[in-house]
Amino acid sequence: MEPKVYIDGKLYPKSEAKISVFDHGLLYGDGVFEGIRVYSGRIFRLNEHLDRLYESARSIGLTIPLSRGGLEEAVIYTVKTNGLRDAYIRLVITRGVGDLGLDPHKCENGSVIVIVDKIQLYSEKLYKEGISVITASTRRVSPDMLNPLVKSLNYLNNILAYMEANQAGCPESLMLNAQGLVAECSGDNIFIVKKGELLTPGPDQGILLGVTRAVTIELAGKLGITVHESKLTRHDIYVADECFLTGTGAELVPVISLDDRTIGDGRPGPMTGKLFKEFRKLRENEGKKLFA
- Helix 46-59 and helix 68-82, axial crossing angle in degrees, nearest 10: 130
Type of residue at 265? D
Closest CA to 190 of 250, 100, 144, 239: 250
CA atoms within 13 A on the CB side of 198: 24
Active-site annotation holder among 4, 128, 151, 289: 151
CA atoms within 13 A on the CB side of 205: 21
Residues 224 and 252: their CA atoms lie apart, in Å, by 19
Contact between 173 and 161 (Cβ < 8 Å): yes
Task: Reduce the DSSP state of residue 105 to 3 states and report it.
Answer: helix
Burial class (CB in 10 A: 0-12, 13-18, 19+), 250: buried
Q: Which residues are CB-neighbours of 115 under 8 A, at least 6 positions away?
A: 3, 5, 6, 17, 78, 89, 90, 91, 92
Catalytic, 18? Answer no
Neighbours of 281 (CB within 10 A): 11
Active site residues: 151
